[in-house]
Amino acid sequence: MLFFILRLSGDPVALMLPENATAEQVTELRDSLGLNAPLYLQYVNFVRGALVLDFGESLRFHEPAMGLVLQRLPATIQLTAAAVLVVVVVGVPLGIIAALRRGKLDSQLLLGLTLIGQAMPSFWLGVVLILVFSVQLRLLPTGGYGELRHFVLPAITLSSFFMAKVARMVRSGMLDVMSEDYIRTARAKGLHPTAEIVRHALKNTLIP
């Protein structure tokens, strides 16, 4: 699949050479890259290289592609961890609040926000966040790496869809669990509402 997706962007030779390149230059570069070989042979060579983690050379940086991936892997892992943290810390409480306040105005607003969060394209949200918090308010940087503030906007952008989805799932699960007999029994025994939520309802809601 990756082999064919990489070819959707067009001819790499046209991207690498200037517009006034001669036919000889085009042919020479295509030969050096193996692009004049039949497609099936190109695929075989691609699979052979992928088995040893050799994905060729970056057309932009002119360095081994795998080396570039490994260089950026720590930042990717950190950003993913930050996004997961946002999903858990924000999505779960929002789902609990929406369930406990069912039928109230704030619950309906939360449901509307989660629906927007799932429908909104992340790339568009990222642009909006940059325009508001970086360009207009100047509170956060537009890019960079190394400080906690560099992760704020990317983590929110990456987590927006999953945060909304988790909130809706937690709300649905909480509503189902809160109607169970053991929850009503806990209430009848005078169990504190917070303990009831954490010890019984939420614990059973989060079970896969």
- For 131-187, the pLDDT digits (tens) are 999 999 999 998 888 888 999 999 999 999 999 999 998 888 888 877 777 777 777
Average pLDDT, the chain: 83
Question: Is residue 135 located within the same domain as residue 45?
Answer: no
Q: What is the pLDDT of residue 32?
A: 78
User: Quick one: pLDDT at residue 188?
Assistant: 74
Structure tokens at 38: 């039949």
Phi, psi of 139 (to 5 degrees): -95, -30
- By residue range, what is the domain housing residue 196? 72-205
Q: What angle is formed at CA 182 by the lines to CA 177 and CA 186, rounded to 5 degrees?
A: 110
**57 domain residue, yes or no:** no
Let me know if residue 172 belongs to a domain.
yes
* pLDDT at position 196: 65
CA angle 72, 76, 77 (to 5 degrees): 120
- pTM here is 0.72
Residue in 55, 101, 58, 90 with CA at minimum distance from that of residue 165 = 90
Q: 122 is written with which tokens?
A: 């992340």
DSSP string, 98-115: HHHTTTSHHHHHHHHHHH
- Packing angle between helix 149-178 and helix 65-86, nearest 10 degrees? 50
Regarding whether 126 and 45 lie in a shared domain, the answer is: no
Q: Is 36 helix (H, G, I), strand (E, B) or coil?
A: coil
The domain spanning residue 159 has which CATH number? 1.10.3720.10
Percent of the chain with pLDDT over 90: 26
The whole-number pLDDT of residue 194 equals: 66
Number of domains in the chain: 2
In a domain, 140, yes or no: yes
State the Cα–Cα distance between residues 40 and 105, nearest whole angstrom: 60
pLDDT of residue 33: 76
Give yes or no: residues 81 and 181 share one domain: yes
Angle at 75 (CA atoms; ends 81, 153), nearest 5 degrees: 65
* Residue ranges in the chain whose pLDDT is less than 50: none
8/97 same-domain check: no
Are 192 and 154 found together in one domain? yes
- 186 with 87, same domain: the answer is yes
In a domain, 99, yes or no: yes
CB 71 within 8 A of CB 58: no
Same domain, residue pair 46 and 125: no
